[in-house]
Amino acid sequence: MFDFPIAELITPTEQVAVARCVAIMASRDDDVSDSERHFVEELMGQMMLLPEERDRVREEFSNPSSLVEVAREVKHREARIFLYYQAVCAAMADNVLVEGERDALLQLAEAFEFNIEVSERFIRWVQDSLELRERGQQLLVEM
């Protein structure tokens, strides 16, 4: 998928905002699955967030903030692309993209001034990529 040198491209404040947005995305269907929680936990580990930052992110599961308002803390283009990718992955962590999640992704794209048509194609590309990876893993199990 995407290999971003996160620490070099995203400020610590942006990293927390990215993780918060991903947690907010996970809560969009009003049912945060174990796979969605795990996805957010892995992301926080990858970004090496501090314990108090992780607690702030986890609060978004039960009391989600406005996705667009939190996303506005992410200023750099690369950080916004990284966030958008992670948000799509979080929405797909339970293998289902519900209407509320899709709407939130399109709101996020609009807030970042991404082309909506391209954003929709990007969502489809991430979905396809995740499905291909899952099929490949299943084939490995069957071999």
Can you list the domains of the chain with their CATH numbers?
Answer: 6-142 (1.10.3680)
Cα dist from 27 to 5, 32, 106, whole Å: 27, 5, 16
22-70 residue pLDDT tens: 999 888 877 788 888 998 999 999 889 999 999 999 999 999 999 999 9
Cα–Cα dist 34/93, whole Å: 9
98-129 residue pLDDT tens: 888 899 999 999 999 999 999 999 999 998 99
The sign of the CA dihedral 114, 116, 118, 122 is: positive
**Quick one: pLDDT at residue 32?**
83
In this prediction the pTM is: 0.82
Answer yes or no: are the C-beta atoms of 69 and 17 closer than 8 Å. Answer: no
